Structure 1
Amino acid sequence: MRLPVTEHTRRPWRIHDIAPDFAVEDVWAFHTPGAGPDDFPVMLAALRAAGGPSGQPLLGRFLFAVRWRLGDLFGWDEPGQSLGSRVRSLRRQLPDDLSECPAGTPPPNTPFTGVYEIDNECALELANKTVHTVCHLSWVPIDNGEYELRMAALVKPNGLFGYLYMAAIKPFRYYLVYPGMTRQWERAWLNRTHPHTESLSGSRDR
C-alpha cells in the first residue's frame, strides 16, 4: 500500500541525518499480521529468503531483466558509475555509533549494498549512471498494537538524465513492480515459520 511521504519524514529515523539531500520518492507499507516489536530481524531474514527479484512474478522478472539489459547496452551500471567511483558510499559517512553496527545483508540478486542495520530500521544503497538511491526499511507500530514493514525509496538523480529516467519508470514502479513486490514480501512474512508451505508455494510459482 502506498503511503504519503510524511509517513516517512515525520518519524525519527537515523537516515534523515545521513542522507539529508536525498528526496523521498516512494513510501510503501507491507502487512505483517501478528508481528511484534522484536520481529524486524525476522522480517529481514524472510525478505532474504524470498529471493529478491528472482522471486517476483514473471512480469516483474521480465522488467528487471529488461532494465539490466539496457544497463549493459548503455553503460548505466559500469564500475565507474557506482559506489566509490561516481559517488561516495553512505557507509563511509556514518556517525560512530552506526558505523559499529552491521551493514546489513541485501536480498539476493539485487545490486544493493548494506549501509546499516539496527533494531527498527535498515538502509541499503546503490548508485549507477542514473541515480544514487537508498532503500530504507523500517518497523512501525500500527493501530492494533502490531507492527508492519515500511519501505521508503530515497533518491538523488544524476543530473537531467537521472530526473528523466526516474519520471519514465514511475508508472512501471507503481503499477507493476511495487504490487508484485508487495505480494512477494507479504507472502515471505506469512511463510517465515512454515518452510514446508513456502517450498510448496515456490514449486507452484515455478
Structure 2
Amino acid sequence: MARIAKSAHTERPWRIHELTPDFGVEDVWAFRTPGAGPDDFPAMLKAMQTSGGFARQTRPVRFLFAVRWKLGALLGWDKPTAGVGARITSLRDRLPSDLRDARRGQDTDAMPLKAVYEIGTESARELANKTVHTVMHLGWVRGANGDYELRMAVLVKHNGWFGRLYMAAIAPFRHLIIYPALARQWEQAWRDRNDLAEQQGEQSRR
C-alpha cells in the first residue's frame, strides 16, 4: 500500500466526479493486487467482502472505532437526523440514468458506508453524520508494473468548521493505524481469494 498524490484521483475520468463537485479529496491510496487483470475489479470487491470487514480488523483498529462510535452516541453525531436522507440527500439522488440502473452494491450491517453505485472499474459508498458527508471511492487502475491495482479515494464535504477540525484531529489515526491495517486485510484478501471462494462453495454444498 502507498499513499499517492491527490491528482492520481482527480486527473482520471472517474464517474464519481460528476456527483461530487462540492467535495474535496482527503486521501488517495493504492493497494497491491499482484497478477490482477483489467476485468478483476468485481473479484477484488468480492474478496474484500468475504475478508470479514471491520470485525476481523486488528485490536487497535477495533478499539479506535469503538471509541468513535461511543463518542458519537454520547454527543449525538450519528443520529438518524444527521445522516443520509435527513441532514443531507444521498448521492444516489444525483445519479445520471445509466448509473441509476447500474448495480448498486451490497449493504451490510458490518459496513457503515452505504452503496451509491458499482460498475466495471469503480464503485462508491457514502456516509454522513454531524461532522461530514464522506465518500469512499474505489477504482481499478493499471499500475506501473503492468498489473492492475486497487485505488481508494476518500472524498469529504465538511459540515462547517467542526467538520474540518474533526477530520484534522483523526488524520494521524487514519494514516498510521486504520489505513495500513485496512491495506493488510484487503491485500491479503486478494491473495487468498481462491481459497475463500472454495470455502464458500463447500459451505453452500453442505
TM-score by length of structure 1 reads 0.93
Instruction: Give the superposition deviation at 1:55.
Output: 1.6
Structure 2 letter corresponding to 1:11: R
Deviation string 1:45-78 (CA, Å, 9 cap, x unpaired) is: 0111112111211111111111111111111110
Q: Which residue of 2 aligns with 1:20?
A: 21
Q: 1:92 to 1:194 in 2, by over 3 A?
A: same
Q: Which residue of 1 aligns with 2:204?
A: none
Instruction: Give the superposition deviation at 1:144.
Output: 2.3
Structure 2 letter corresponding to 1:39: D
Residues 118-133 of structure 1 mapped to structure 2, 5 A cutoff: 118-133=119-134
Structure 1 letter corresponding to 2:128: A
Aligned-partner Cα distance in 1 for 2:106–2:152:
16
Q: 1:132 to 1:196 in 2, by over 3 A?
A: closer
Secondary structure at the counterpart of residue 181 of structure 2? helix
Residues 28-47 of structure 1 mapped to structure 2, 5 A cutoff: 28-47=29-48
Aligned-partner Cα distance in 2 for 1:131–1:55:
26
Structure 2 letter corresponding to 1:154: L
Q: Which residue of 1 aligns with 2:161?
A: 160
Runs of 4+ off more than 6 Å: 196-199
Aligned-partner Cα distance in 2 for 1:104–1:196:
19
Please say if residues 50 and 196 of structure 2, whose CA atoms lie closer than 8 Å, have aligned partners that are also in contact. no
Identity %: 57
Please say if residues 52 and 108 of structure 1, whose CA atoms lie closer than 8 Å, have aligned partners that are also in contact. no
Q: Which residue of 2 aligns with 1:61?
A: 62
Q: Which residue of 1 aligns with 2:152?
A: 151
Aligned-partner Cα distance in 1 for 2:197–2:20:
41
Instruction: Give the superposition deviation at 1:198.
Output: 8.5
TM-score by length of structure 2 reads 0.93
Count of aligned pairs? 199
Residues 87-166 of structure 1 mapped to structure 2, 5 A cutoff: 87-106=88-107, 109-166=110-167
Please say if residues 48 and 106 of structure 1, whose CA atoms lie closer than 8 Å, have aligned partners that are also in contact. no
Aligned-partner Cα distance in 2 for 1:39–1:197:
17
